[in-house]
Amino acid sequence: MSFQKIIGQKPIIQSLTNAINSEKIGHAYLFVGAEGIGKRTLARAFIKELLCEKKAMIDCSCRACRLMATNNHPDLIEVNPVGNSIKIEQLRELQKNAYFHPIYGKHKIFFFPEGEALTLAAANSLLKILEEPPPAVIFVFVATRLESLLPTIRSRCQVMHLFPVGIQELTDFLSKKGLSEAEIEKKIKESQGNLKKALAEEEAPQEELVSFPDFFSLDLLALLVKVNELEKKERNVILDLLQQIEIEARAELVNCIHKDVLNAKINVQQLVLFLEKIPDTINAIKSNCSQRLALETLIVSTKLLIDEGI
Ligand SMILES: [Zn+2]
């Protein structure tokens, strides 16, 4: 996919296009954003623009673009987890390969679509080459959370933060697909700026455990009852749910989708403070803290936040 076909993320596309046009391309990029927001698609589009022989910025059928379309471009090396992680052994050959010239063009790209899967040892083994990369080499990492990569890796990358797609852009896109106004409104409400959801033809039925507006519309007792239900779920289900709530809260900051429910209850500053609490809850659960305790702390501290009227 070319930059031209990407929905949203215009400031990032502009900055990457400027870098390509002025030939001031960095040696390492990190695309960060919530699941489903389109960060891998954007990273792949950037790689396509880097390797395209015509620098076409649109769909193109040059040799490089054809090879990329079939995952056969020799100067694009994609590194995926084996099992659950990317291990140091996988990177040994890669690091040797980095010192050979690219076969077709000016660049050789090492692409990590799941950057958070790097083990500590694997990430550490990349530091030297990231510090002094061979001139043709460009590293492209993708991650859902910035903190999931070592600070020493992050600091060597140009970080691109993706934001939920704006209502207007989504509306324009969905109306071009021929959806009715009512369908578009429904999709936008459900997707919260999450492209994967907005573009899904059919949504899998989802069990409603607790949603983002619940934190503000339900009273403390009703929320604690929900925690009872949640506690029976697996850790991953709860982590996914918290991540979804974080996506929705971020989308709310940009698009004010639930302003009818939320405006009376909280202001922007409180919403930002709520957003800051979610990673703490996720980290607590990841480090094997009691799920119930972590969720109750989030709920009670959110309620205090509202009551104190900061
Ligand atoms: Zn091309």
Give me ligand 1 centre to Cα 60, in Å: 4
- Tell me if 11 sits within 8 A of 168, measured CB to CB: no
Give me ligand 1 centre to Cα 48, in Å: 7
CA distance 29 to 100: 21
Give me ligand 1 centre to Cα 276, in Å: 42
Give me ligand 1 centre to Cα 133, in Å: 25
CA distance 239 to 252: 20
DSSP state, residue 28: E
In this predicted model, what pLDDT tens digit does every residue of 281-304 receive, in sequence order? 988 888 888 888 999 999 888 888
CA distance 28 to 159: 9
Give me ligand 1 centre to Cα 71, in Å: 14
Give me ligand 1 centre to Cα 105, in Å: 12
3-state secondary structure of 137: strand
> Which amino acid is residue 132, in one-letter code?
E
Give me ligand 1 centre to Cα 30, in Å: 23
Task: Kindly state the helix (H) or strand (E) to which residue 87 belongs, with its residue range.
Answer: none
3-state secondary structure 106-118: CCEEEEECCHHHE
Give me ligand 1 centre to Cα 1, in Å: 11
Give me ligand 1 centre to Cα 38, in Å: 21
Give me ligand 1 centre to Cα 50, in Å: 9
pLDDT for 236: 74
CA distance 155 to 195: 28
Give me ligand 1 centre to Cα 184, in Å: 34
Give me ligand 1 centre to Cα 104, in Å: 12
Give me ligand 1 centre to Cα 305, in Å: 52
Give me ligand 1 centre to Cα 66, in Å: 7
Tally of CB atoms within 10 A around 256: 14
CA distance 98 to 75: 10
Give me ligand 1 centre to Cα 54, in Å: 5
Give me ligand 1 centre to Cα 65, in Å: 4
First to last CA, the chain: 45
Residue stretches of the chain with pLDDT short of 50: 202-206
pLDDT for 1: 75
3-state secondary structure of 11: helix
- Tell me if 245 sits within 8 A of 277, measured CB to CB: no
pLDDT for 205: 41
Give me ligand 1 centre to Cα 68, in Å: 9
CA distance 96 to 93: 5
Strands, E assignment, 105-167? 108-112, 137-143, 158-161
CA distance 278 to 294: 10
In this predicted model, what pLDDT tens digit does every residue of 52-75 receive, in sequence order? 998 767 778 899 998 988 888 999
pLDDT for 58: 73
Give me ligand 1 centre to Cα 28, in Å: 22
Tally of CB atoms within 10 A around 290: 12
- Tell me if 226 sits within 8 A of 210, measured CB to CB: yes
DSSP string, 266-286: --HHHHHHHHHHHHHHHHHHH
Pull the structure tokens for residue 29. Answer: 């990029």
pLDDT for 309: 62
Give me ligand 1 centre to Cα 61, in Å: 5
Question: Which residues neighbour 158 within 8 Å (Cβ) at sequence distance 6 or greater?
Answer: 26, 28, 29, 30
